[in-house]
Amino acid sequence: MRKIVGLFFVGIASWIGLSAETLAEEARCPQRIAYIQKDSLSTAATNILRKIYFRLGCRQTEFIDLPGRRGIHLFNHQQVDGEVYRLAQAEALYTRKFVRSGTPLFSLTSSLWLHPGEAKIKSLGTGYILGVVWMEEHLKNRKSKAFHSAEEMYEAYNAGMINGFLAADFSVGVKMASNELSPPPAHAKTLHDLPLFHYLGEEYAPFMARIAKLLTTEAPFKTLLPKR
């Protein structure tokens, strides 16, 4: 009888230990998350994700703004624990094992925007942001000009240095609403409408599962709709 009771308590202790370990893994918070600097869509998405992390108990997680390609580099070298969002095609650039949100944060609608007098300045080339994979792929072997941030690109457009640019419709809508693009660019062509996912190192899989669950029951990023 004593042996049976002893085994019972050993089992209970083991279960408690495993449960505590599981809870600890789920509660383990990423410390540093990268996002693309000087971009209104990236900033808006980061603000929403920061609130989600806070709700899940990760109040000390630091969100770091970086140039587009820099986030991938630091993630691969384990200097950041994840990125706020990327298109799935960026996964080919990761050399570190990762997990992504099973549910997208939201869809990215992006377009080619042209200067109204584009025919006269066509030779200037089209602007894009260095390190944003889909932009680099779209303009490969085409006349273009790279910029380190969206703000820098928009300034070049206003100065007549480029004939247009590639950008998320949301970001352009924000700029046009505040009259920060002159002259207002013309929407030339929608290039894609693709899902954006949140990425973390694979060691944060339990935490990512909690985020995924929240994304399937709520729509926290619904305010990030394209504006024209």
What amino acid occupies position 205?
A
- C-alpha–C-alpha distance, residues 123 and 126, integer Å: 9
pLDDT digits (tens, 9 = 90+) for 179-198: 999 999 999 999 999 999 99
User: What is the pLDDT, as a whole number, of residue 194?
Assistant: 92
**Is the whole model's pTM more than 0.85, yes or no?**
no
pLDDT digits (tens, 9 = 90+) for 98-121: 999 989 999 989 999 999 986 667
Closest of 147, 148, 143 to residue 124, by C-alpha: 143
Domains of the chain listed by start with CATH number: 28-106+195-217 (3.40.190.10), 108-193 (3.40.190.10)
Residues of the chain with pLDDT under 50: 5, 8-10, 13-26, 227-228
User: What is the pLDDT, as a whole number, of residue 25?
Assistant: 47
Query: How many residues belong to the chain?
Result: 228
What DSSP designation does 34 have? E
Find the distance separating the first CA and the last CA of the chain, reported in whole Å.
Answer: 76
Q: What are the residues facing 126 on neighbouring strands?
A: 144, 164
User: What is the pLDDT, as a whole number, of residue 127?
Assistant: 97
User: What is the pLDDT, as a whole number, of residue 58?
Assistant: 97
Contact present, 223 and 182 (Cβ < 8 Å) = no
